[in-house]
């Protein structure tokens, strides 16, 4: 298991990193209450509302996690031209995260609303558009993204794909091509639609369900060695990490295949946001020169921290050091 000294080393490294997150930004809203009766109007529970909260989600949550490690962080994302875009911008600014939010009048800002009673999710409501950027919007965004990367000169770029229409093939190519020119470490959290467009990156992190969708079959853990090697060679990816939920993470590199189960036992409260925190831990662990075993241990520990809390939360590095 990773020790507190190595976690402190990652935290120290993070403070020297200029990070850029590019992808689908959104809001996560939670409506909390209690349920004590069924509606007389229909066979549905009646929620007695207690409180609500709204948080930055999607790629914005990845940016928050990198900032929590100490990285200087910039977010590039897509929103609607609406009040929720202002809310998202304010949440980012409150955490010292600079942002370039493309505001499109042709879509709403994505917001996921979860109704929760006694730690149980009753319902999720998604307000979003899944349409890709219009051609003129895509061209402007690609040009601005390239200029921003060249100006900011980040050490780390994470592409966070929630399949909400921002990361088109053109924008993905622009980011990876520009990043490669500068020698930037590039990590990707993919979805099925653009799965095989992320060629030539350093870290590729699907979960088992996403990997199975891309393979067009239900993958078992025992299949991941061969499948990951094949994809890594075809896509010219430095490392593929497939997250497995309670079964840990499988990591494929040029040197070998590794798998680590979570070392800390927790009561899982909520898995929302775990993948966002894990890709940050994997990328920072790789950039800090940790061993593969310690990289996976750090990522599993990070995921455990997030899953032990209700709602989308960012990692608390000091707690990780205490847990290690």
- Tell me which residues are annotated as active site: 276
CA pair distance 18, 156, nearest whole angstrom: 6
Alpha carbon distance, N-terminus to C-terminus of the chain? 7
Task: Say which residue the tokens 């897509």 belong to.
Answer: 78
CB atoms within 10 A of CB 234: 10
CA pair distance 285, 294, nearest whole angstrom: 8
CA pair distance 93, 74, nearest whole angstrom: 10
Distances (CA, A) of 176 to 107, 142, 279: 26, 11, 17
SS (H, E, C) the chain: CCCHHHHHHHHHHHCCCEEEEEECEEEEEEEEEEEEEECCCCCCEEEEEEEEEEEEEEHHHHHHHHHHHCCEEEEEEEEECCHHHHHHHHHHHHCCCEEEEEEECCCCCCEEEEEEECCEEEEEEEECCCCCCCHHHHHHHHHHHHHHHHHHCCCEEEEECCCCCCCCHHHHHHHHHHHHHHCCEEEEECCCCCHHHCCCCCEECCEHHHHHHHHCCCCCHHHHHHHHHHHHHHHCCCEEEEECHHHCEEEEECCCEEEECCCCCCCCCCCCCHHHHHHHHHHHHHHCCCCHHHHHHHHHHHHHHHHCCCCCCCCCHHHHHHHC
């Amino acid at each position: 298991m990773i020790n507190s000294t190595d976690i402190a080393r990652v935290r120290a490294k993070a403070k020297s990193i200029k990070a850029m997150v590019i992808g689908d930004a959104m809001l996560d809203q939670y409506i909390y209450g209690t349920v004590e009766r069924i509606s007389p109007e229909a066979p549905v529970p009646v929620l007695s509302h207690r409180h609500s909260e709204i948080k930055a989600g999607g790629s914005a949550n990845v940016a928050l996690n990198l900032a929590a490690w100490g990285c200087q962080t910039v977010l590039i994302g897509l929103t609607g031209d609406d009040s929720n875009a202002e809310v998202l911008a304010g949440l980012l600014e409150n955490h010292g995260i600079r942002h370039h939010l493309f505001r499109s009048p042709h879509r709403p800002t994505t917001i996921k609303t979860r109704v929760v009673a006694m730690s149980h999710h009753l319902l999720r409501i998604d307000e979003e558009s899944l349409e890709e950027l219009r051609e003129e919007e895509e061209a402007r965004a690609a040009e601005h993204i390239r200029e921003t990367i060249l100006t900011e000169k980040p050490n780390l770029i994470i592409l966070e794909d929630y399949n909400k229409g921002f990361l088109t093939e053109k924008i993905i190519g622009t980011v990876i091509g520009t990043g490669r020119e500068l020698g930037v470490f590039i990590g990707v959290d993919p979805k099925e639609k653009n799965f095989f467009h992320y060629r030539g990156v350093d870290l590729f992190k699907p979960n088992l369900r996403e990997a199975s969708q891309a393979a067009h079959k239900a993958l078992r853990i025992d299949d991941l060695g061969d499948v990951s090697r094949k994809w890594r060679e075809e896509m010219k990816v430095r490392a593929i990490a497939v997250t497995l939920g309670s079964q840990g993470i499988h990591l494929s590199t040029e040197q070998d295949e590794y798998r680590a189960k979570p070392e800390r036992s927790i009561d899982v409260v909520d898995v929302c946001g775990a993948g966002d925190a894990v890709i940050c831990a994997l990328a920072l662990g790789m950039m800090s020169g940790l061993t593969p075993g310690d990289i996976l241990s750090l990522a599993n520990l990070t995921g455990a921290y997030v899953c032990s809390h209700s709602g989308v939360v960012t990692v608390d590095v000091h707690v990780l050091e205490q847990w290690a």
